[in-house]
Amino acid sequence: MAGDHTLSGLAVPEGLDELHDLLEQVGVQHPDVSPADLMLFETAVIEIAGNVVEHGRPPGGVHWKFSIQVRPDRIEATLADDGMAFEDARVLADASMPDADAEDGRGFAMASQVLDELSYERRGSANLWAMVRRRS
Partner 1 sequence: MELEKQVDGQVAVLRCSGRLNMGAAGRLRAAVDETVADGVRRIVVDLSETSFVDSSGLGALVGGLKSARQAGGDLRIAAAPEQVRTVLALTNLDRVLTPHQTVEDAHRGW
Residue 43 makes contact with partner 1 by CB under 8 A: yes
Nearest approach in angstroms of CB 28 to partner 1 is 15
Contacts of 136 (CB under 8 A, 6+ apart): 34, 36, 37
Distance, in Å, from the CA atom of 43 to the CA atom of 74, rounded to the nearest integer, reads 16
Q: Which of 17, 88, 116, 121 binds partner 1 (CB under 8 A)?
A: 17
Collapsing DSSP states into helix, strand and coil, what is residue 87? coil
The candidate with the shortest Cα–Cα distance to 42, out of 16, 6, 65, 60, is 16
Closest separation in Å from C-beta 124 to partner 1: 28
Residue 17 β-bridge partners: none
Cβ nearer to partner 1, comparing 43 with 69: 43
User: Smallest distance from the beta carbon of 2 to partner 1, in angstroms?
Assistant: 27
Measured between alpha carbons, how far apart are the two ends of the chain, in Å? Answer: 23
Total residues contacting partner 1 by CB under 8 A comes to: 27
Binding of residue 55 to partner 1 (CB under 8 A): no
The residues binding partner 1 (CB under 8 A) are 13-14, 16-17, 20, 39-40, 42-43, 46-47, 50, 53-54, 97, 100-107, 109-110, 113-114
